[in-house]
Structure 1
């Protein structure tokens, strides 16, 4: 069994008086790819925001590499090696592609073959072609490539993608899936939020489905692939 990288236990969160998460449990081992699935508004992004320190937990715990991180500031969590590709990408619009990529470059994991500009350019050649363009001059697909490349430049222990391919053209989605498969092959641990279940069962090791802020199903890819009633019941597929 792989070393536990991320462990969320009993996580609760709220927006003011409105509770959104009700005891979320989730575990990811080193080198694993996991998904967080559910219809819109069911708590996926809130879970991501809470584990990244962008909103406080009301109860429960988040452990990353064995240490509690709930209550830590987002920049502290990022320095521990958790890299978030947020919904909406959130790249810096007035910085160039090159500047976006190098702004937070680091080797959080101390890996011998770290992600560098050259490696990111090899993964996404379009970013090299657009190196001098500002972030707000890029297409949505290019912005997503840049957001992923920027996260990889921190050489994280865990890469988290919220709505990995939302709103992207089919060809661009295929490029993102290709990228994630390549990262998996390298042993990069990944947590993915996305709606394309048929692609995720071929990519991820295990899945967590949430409904109204609660975990309603967890299991491995073969089990999810074999029970499409789950897709219809909880994912609207």
Structure 2
């Protein structure tokens, strides 16, 4: 499979405090991959560095074969890398439909484009709340909207930072169902989440980060067969 994203020896710091120490991983076209680890171990910093929000100080990042570690965030986004950020960050004073329309683009021209109708079919609850303002939605509905908004850019790579954090069990199931649907449609996805049992069933490959370093990589069969890894590095 062709690598869509290749991260090689990435190092990132905030001021004089280094956070990432030579992080390396790759995601193939059509693959679902994860970044795992306890809170504060560097997962979100990795995502921020991929997006150009926190500039990597060392290593290389290639997206669709092009080096992007020195590019501005808007340029990276236009290349087709979309994120569902931790905390959702939807526009509170725009309606559901306005939030979605504001992000409409076709970065991935080879695929069937995402439209309002497709997003509403994926998340019927958003169709029911299409005229509600962002700040009138529940946390779960906001997460659905954040995912739909990212899909409206028709990304080559969809990144979800803390995909189901703080959501009620029934809403978490809705998000897992959505991600399984996207995987079946061939969407390349990078997921950060703590529910390893669900990620083992969803994802192809996994990368565990501890104190800013990659400490384990492997496929779902390997991770599922060694629960001691979950306890040692993820705390579950």
- Report Cα offsets for 1:100-157 as digits up to 9, x if no partner: 0010201111135211100000000111111111111110000000000000011100
CA deviation profile, 1:202-227 (whole Å, cap 9, x unmatched): 00000000000000000000000000
Alignment partner, residue 217 of structure 2:
218
Aligned to 2:15: 16
- 1:41–1:112 Cα change, 3 Å: closer
| Structure 1: gaps of 5 or more residues | none
Which residue does the alignment assign to 2:45?
46
User: How far apart, in 2, do the equivalents of 1:113 and 1:64 lie?
Assistant: 21
TM-score normalised to structure 2 length: 0.99
Instruction: Name the residue aligned to 1:132.
Output: 131
Q: What is the aligned residue count? A: 236
TM-score, normalised with respect to structure 1 = 0.99
Which residue number corresponds to residue 173 of structure 2? 174
**RMSD of the alignment, in Å?**
0.6
CA distance in 1, matches of 2:110, 2:85: 24
The CA distance in 1 between the partners of 2:14 and 2:88, in whole Å, is 22
Matches within 5 A, 1:1-237: 2-237=1-236
* Structure-2 separation of matches of 1:164 and 1:113: 24
**Aligned partners of 1:70, 1:180: CA distance in 2, in Å?**
27
Which range is displaced more, 157-166 or 126-135?
Answer: 126-135
User: Any idea what SS the aligned residue of 2:109 has?
Assistant: coil
- Structure 2: any 5+ residue segments left out of the alignment? none
* SS across alignment from 1:164: coil
**Separation of aligned partners in 1, 2:178 and 2:110:** 19
State the 4+ residue runs in structure 1 displaced beyond 4 angstroms: none
SS in 1 for 2:177: helix
In structure 2, C-alpha distance between the alignment counterparts of 1:106 and 1:151, rounded to whole Å: 10
In 1, the alpha carbon distance for the partners of 2:111 and 2:11 equals: 38
The residue matched to 1:215 in structure 2 has which SS? strand
Q: How far apart are 1:162 and its partner, in Å?
A: 0.2
Cα deviation, residue 74, structure 1: 1.0
Q: Distance in 2 between matches of 1:144 and 1:233?
A: 29
Question: Secondary structure of the equivalent of 2:132?
Answer: coil
Q: CA deviation at 1:75?
A: 1.0
